[in-house]
Chain A
């Protein structure tokens, strides 16, 4: 080690003071996390292990009832599967719709960019519930969409409303801005000269897209799909308003257990399983997408 110079020694207390200042600045954030994340997390976990108090319905006491987890998985696995399937399809659809849109705004938007972005989020100014409810009208049995699709014999059940299709449509619509915005942010950063360079190096327009634009937009794709998939997988409003009882998602199961059955332990266990499943999916996904390879 280098010899310690007097200057270093006298500078040390100042550095320590600065270090302490950093911790003080972290305090509000840490408190927030403790109060609104760590404590509820532990409480929820403890609730998920509670046992019913015999003779008193709706009352639960401390316990180590891992059976709640068994129930939540054996009884509710169809809802889990449906949640991930619906959320997955909706995410894919949102990506297909959002990518060209974000691409257009970022590369061709010119001075209209900001306006176009505002238009993307403008629907969010109206209530989520209201907008989802509006889809009941859009997809109504005698509405233009359903009639057209029926005329083309594209609907097996003869209707859209109260089917899985309606739920997926609602999810896609509701979470679309969460897909568009990160995609736009990633695409907007791409230096146009890189695409020219690809053209100069014998890449056709489509090859230049595959080899340059798409990989460089990957951070936006990953962020967008996560921001869409995670809330969509846990959503219950769309299934509630647009689906039938056969199209219920895990969010609905948690909601009914909590609000209607007042079976807090099962609801908590379901929440925990959902959280774990999402975490596993997300980590696998991020590893596969290899975003750490990107700049």
Chain B
């Protein structure tokens, strides 16, 4: 499509306050041209507000928005090279699919609309639906019309506000692949807002984790997942075991003592500046062995003894909850590669993992930040 050079999108100290409520707090970030960028965060963290400011539907309280060298902060929505796929699609009910898709082109008095609209409808696989009304389409089809209607204008940036939120799980997966295909095909910058961490990780080149109006961490999905820099990210993006301790001595590795147990981690993977450190490890990085086989734990591994309190088998993997001596429950995922070799509730076990799989976080944070409220309630009940 567009032979026009695509430009980076820059947000500079972007802030939006509604009265006393700061919805978006001093946001600075650059979204590279042609990337699939996911803005991930819990409901109410300011994702929609950020998108609306980029689209020009909301005026920032302060800060600026640039596309390439052009400052668009003061431009009206209809003058920005940006289009939006709305959370609720917002298709025009009085116009058929063809006219919905043609709307932007007609407003700009583009010539020879018909082949363009038809090509776009082909791209989203809705060719035969051109003369239907939006109300005659399924949710997934309406979603694709919304994408086509925005994309046909060849915007520099396409904003998608939880575009798959209204679809059921199976259709969501299908549309994730579909959207990714469309993005690769047209090469437009996509800014995709979602509260689904799996969706963000599978679709995006870059994920920004947003919390309370700020970006907590930004990077490639694998990078953020493997090395979260805050408790919120560690808990919100996948699951983590977080253990609070004190830094002891620094050799080539940082050693943190928690509840009388020493944990070692790489200096480069420690984000804590002070003496108070939260040691974290992802559940799938942990190996569980029977207490009797503790001697088999490789030298130098971090290890924690505990009692199995819960086993849930899910086919691909088994999830264990194991209570450490100090009472904290750790979560472990084990791939079911060996048939019949599983622990049972009540078994005494040893968990161990390589030091390079640990990460260190600043100890002043709440270890429960970003945990789903439902999980917290469950733990409180136990």
Contacts and interface: CB of A to CB of B under 8 A. Distances in A.
Contact of A201 (B76, B93, B107, B135): B107
Interface string A127-143: 00000000000000000
A216 B92 CA distance: 9
A199 B104 contact: no
Interface in B120-136: 133, 135
Nearest to B88: A193
Given A202-B153, A203-B78, A295 B83 contact: no
A203 B90 CA distance: 15
Interface string B148-168: 011001000000000000000
Q: Assign chain B's interface to a size class.
A: 20 to 34
A216 B90 CA distance: 13
B86 interface: yes
A202 B104 contact: yes
A191 B134 CA distance: 15
A294 interface: yes
Contact of A200 (B84, B88, B133): B84
A207 B107 contact: yes
Contact of A199 (B76, B91, B93, B133): B76
Given A193-B86, A295-B135, A201 B94 contact: no
Interface string A175-214: 0000000000000000101101111111110010001100
A215 B94 contact: yes
B111 interface: no
A202 B108 contact: yes
A197 B84 contact: yes
B78 A200 contact: yes
A201 B104 contact: yes
A295 B94 contact: yes
Contacts of A194: 90, 92-93
Interface string B246-274: 00000000000000000000000000000
Contacts of B86: 193, 196-197, 200
B369 to A, nearest CB: 32
Contacts of A197: 84, 86, 90-92
A200 B78 CA distance: 5
A197 B56 CA distance: 11
B345 interface: no
A295 B134 CA distance: 10
Nearest to A212: B92
A199 B58 CA distance: 12
B232 interface: no
B83 A200 contact: yes
Contacts of B103: 198, 201, 203, 211
A210 to B, nearest CB: 11
Nearest to B108: A202
A194 B95 CA distance: 12
A104 to B, nearest CB: 21
B142 to A, nearest CB: 13
Nearest to B94: A215
B177 interface: no
Nearest to A200: B84
B55 interface: yes
**Across chains A and B, which 8 residue pairs bring their CB atoms closest together, nearest first?**
A201-B104, A202-B107, A197-B90, A199-B77, A193-B90, A202-B78, A295-B93, A200-B84
30 contacts: A191-B90, A193-B90, A194-B90, A194-B93, A197-B84, A197-B86, A197-B90, A197-B91, A199-B56, A199-B57, A199-B78, A200-B55, A200-B78, A200-B82, A200-B83, A200-B150, A201-B104, A201-B149, A202-B78, A202-B108, A203-B107, A204-B76, A204-B78, A207-B107, A212-B94, A294-B94, A295-B93, A295-B94, A295-B133, A295-B135
Given A193-B86, A200-B55, 19 more contacts: A191-B90, A193-B88, A197-B84, A197-B86, A197-B90, A197-B91, A197-B92, A199-B56, A199-B57, A199-B77, A200-B82, A201-B78, A201-B104, A202-B78, A202-B107, A202-B108, A202-B153, A211-B103, A212-B94
